Each structure stands twice: as structure tokens, then as C-alpha cells.
């Protein structure tokens, strides 16, 4: 049996190189090694603008400015995300509804509903910070943009996010990771 010692390695044919157990191969860039469940890339965006909208009963509000975008490197990979909506208040007594996480691109699609039943009582004038975790299989290598809107079941609902603004620490965020299939 012979052993080959090299400083650079390439395939004679095909694209697979097998490394024996107990040996280590050092990569020269971040795309060299891929394993199922591995994080391929991450994106992080923040939104600290105060948002306010009156939404009628049984209707959707406009999209809140909280968005995140990621471009998958493979259509078989999944996206894992964490969205935190800060400083939420519904300023109409006895009203309630829920949020929807949707894609804008490559097409409009529901990813997940969350926060139901989000209700309001003026007795405490409180605000809520609402985290949502999700996984999504967009089946594309095009940019995927995630966004949020609110559905009012009763109302008129006055919805606010980032209620007290960035000077008081209200900063909503979107953290996205591409996960190797």
C-alpha cells in the first residue's frame, strides 16, 4: 500500500473526494464543505421605525416595514428564521387578531400565522414583544423576501409596532439562516 502526500488536491474525474476516517481536510473558502443540517449563510436585518395603522374588522392591514431577505444557494435547502416584532400594542379595547408571516418574493405565500389571539385592554396600556421561529422550504434559488401583516378579527384595531421607537429600545428584527438539505 502506498500513501500520497500532496499540498493541492483535485479530482481526476467527477466531483467527489473521499477523506479517510481520522484525517482532516482544511478548506480554502466557506463553500468547500457541505453537510446536512449545516448553516450555509445568515442574514440579519432590523427595523426601528414606529408603525401605526387602523385596520377594520375582518380585514388585513398593510405590510409592516419589518422584512428580511435571503437568497438560497440550493432549491432543496430550507430557511430557518427568527422574527421579533417589538413594541406591539392594539389600541382599541376588546379587539384582537393575529399576524401573518408571508413571502413577497419570489411569490406571495403564507409561511405561518402567529400571535393569535393577540388582544388589547386599555387597563394596562402594555406593549408586547413577540418572537416567531419558523422553517420554510421555498424551493428556489431566487431571493426570498419575508414580510409581516396583521389581520383584525374585531375592530377597528389600531395596531402599533416599535411603539416607543429606537430611543427606548424598540427595534424589530429578522434573522434568517439557510440550512443544507
More confident residue, 88 or 92: 88
In the structure, what pLDDT confidence band is assigned to residue 45 with cuts at 50, 70 and 90? very high
Q: How far is CA 59 from CA 99, 119, 134, 158, in A?
A: 12, 16, 24, 13
- Residue-level pLDDT at 16: 80
Q: How far apart are CA 48 and CA 60, in angstroms?
A: 22
CATH 3.40.640.10 fits 39-179, yes or no: no
Judged by DSSP in three states, 31 sits in coil
Are 146 and 63 in contact by the 8 Å Cβ rule? The answer is no
The domain limits of the chain are 39-179
Task: Quote the cell numbers at residue 77.
Answer: 435547502
- Residue-level pLDDT at 180: 94
Task: Quote the cell numbers at residue 85.
Answer: 416584532
Q: Look at residue 124 and tell me whether its pLDDT is greater than 60.
A: no
Amino acid at each position: 500500500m502506498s500513501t500520497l502526500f500532496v499540498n493541492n488536491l483535485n479530482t481526476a474525474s467527477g466531483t467527489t473526494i473521499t477523506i479517510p476516517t481520522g484525517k482532516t481536510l482544511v478548506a480554502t473558502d466557506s463553500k468547500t464543505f457541505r453537510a446536512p443540517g449545516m448553516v450555509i449563510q445568515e442574514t440579519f436585518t432590523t427595523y426601528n421605525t414606529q408603525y401605526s395603522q387602523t385596520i377594520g374588522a375582518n380585514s388585513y392591514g398593510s405590510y409592516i416595514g419589518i422584512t428580511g431577505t435571503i437568497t438560497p444557494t440550493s432549491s432543496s435547502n430550507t430557511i430557518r428564521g427568527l422574527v421579533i416584532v417589538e413594541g406591539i400594542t392594539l389600541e382599541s379595547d376588546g379587539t384582537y387578531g393575529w399576524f401573518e408571516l408571508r413571502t413577497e418574493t419570489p411569490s406571495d405565500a403564507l409561511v405561518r400565522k402567529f400571535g393569535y389571539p393577540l388582544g388589547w385592554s386599555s387597563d394596562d396600556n402594555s406593549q408586547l414583544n413577540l418572537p416567531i421561529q419558523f422553517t420554510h422550504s421555498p424551493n428556489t434559488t431566487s431571493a426570498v423576501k419575508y414580510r409581516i401583516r396583521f389581520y383584525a378579527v374585531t375592530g377597528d384595531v389600531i395596531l402599533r409596532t416599535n411603539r416607543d421607537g429606537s430611543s427606548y429600545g424598540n427595534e424589530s428584527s429578522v434573522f434568517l439562516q439557510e440550512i443544507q438539505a
